[in-house]
Amino acid sequence: GAVVSQHPSRVICKSGTSVKIECRSLDFQATTMFWYRQFPKQSLMLMATSNEGSKATYEQGVEKDKFLINHASLTLSTLTVTSAHPEDSSFYICSARRTEDSYEQYFGPGTRLTVT
Amino acid sequence: LAKTTQPISMDSYEGQEVNITCSHNNIATNDYITWYQQFPSQGPRFIIQGYKTKVTNEVASLFIPADRKSSTLSLPRVSLSDTAVYYCLVGGDRGSTLGRLYFGRGTQLTVWP
């Protein structure tokens, strides 16, 4: 149990275009989902916290207009990178928390974004 | 956030025991110590969590001295598949801070045949 999937696993897009990444909790309902970014040889950086039915909370320094997050259901959160640039190329990882009583986060397999 | 310090990298050989130490001098009274493992191009995975003394599960052991200013993750008889980055987090349950996880630099463990 507690499986989180991401789609796509890899995506290449041209500079200036937008790309959407999906994060799904397959066998549980996730009231809260999180989005992380990881550059090569670096640690995970928390970008935002996504709560179902409400606006996402962004970490300091993360542009909310560039990284649009939608958490429309208890099993799906999406991250849209708008007007992507090469410096947005990174590994994007989501995680999901089962209930508000548990701090356990289940991580997805990540999405490799390359902007050319 | 309680700051943590870990070695950037460690090397070991198959079959050896590996001990990774994390310093957290400013740990608060209510803080837990939590370790995660991350393989390349995958999300992190929870390994173990403790508050004091020693905790052991099927994967690892966690040793915490009385002053709790450091902790040591012990991996018995490592194999090539243990090559990964190991993160030490200090905070609430599962290393969270207000429900969020903030990862430090981690330790790259490389296991050689």
Tens digit of pLDDT for each residue in B58-85?
999 999 999 999 999 999 999 999 999 9
Residue A80 pLDDT: 97
Length of chain A, please? 116
- Mean local confidence (pLDDT), B47-52: 93
Extract the tokens encoding A87. Answer: 């410096």
- Interface membership of A95 toward B (CB under 8 Å): yes
Under 8 Å between Cβ of A8 and A91: no
Residue B64 pLDDT: 97
Q: How far apart are CA B53 and CA B39, in angstroms?
A: 28
CB atoms within 10 A of CB A6: 19
Residue A63 pLDDT: 94
- Interface membership of A103 toward B (CB under 8 Å): yes
In chain B, what residues touch A32 (CB-CB under 8 Å)?
Answer: 99
Residue A34 pLDDT: 94
Share of chain B above pLDDT 90, in %: 77
Q: How many CA atoms lie within 13 A of A6 on its CB side?
A: 27
- Interface membership of A93 toward B (CB under 8 Å): yes
Largest CA distance in chain B: 41
Is residue A109 predicted with pLDDT exceeding 90?
yes
Residue B93 pLDDT: 79
Burial label for B66, CB within 10 Å (0-12, 13-18, 19+), is exposed
- Mean local confidence (pLDDT), A91-106: 84
Closest residue of B to A108, CA-based?
A: B43
DSSP B95: G
Backbone angles phi, psi at B95, to 5 degrees: 80, 15
Which residue type does A57 have? T
CA distance A72 to chain B (A): 20
Using CB atoms, pick whichever of B43, B94, B104 lies closest to residue A104.
B94
- Interface membership of A108 toward B (CB under 8 Å): yes
Which residue type does B22 have? C
For all residues of chain B together, what is the average pLDDT?
Answer: 93
Interface contact A110-B42, CB threshold 8 A: yes
Q: How far apart are CA A89 and CA A72, in angstroms?
A: 25
Interface contact B99-A103, CB threshold 8 A: yes
3-state secondary structure (DSSP) of residue A68: strand
Q: How far apart are CA A32 and CA A52, in angstroms?
A: 6
Is residue A75 predicted with pLDDT exceeding 80?
yes
Interface contact B44-A107, CB threshold 8 A: yes
Is residue A101 predicted with pLDDT exceeding 80?
no
Burial label for B4, CB within 10 Å (0-12, 13-18, 19+), is buried
* Confidence band of B5 (pLDDT split at 50, 70, 90): very high
pLDDT digits (tens, 9 = 90+) for B9-34: 999 999 999 999 999 999 989 899 99
Residue A60 pLDDT: 94
Residue A62 pLDDT: 95
Is residue A99 predicted with pLDDT exceeding 90?
no
Under 8 Å between Cβ of B60 and B72: no
Extract the tokens encoding B48. Answer: 């173990």
CA distance B76 to chain A (A): 25
Residue A100 pLDDT: 63
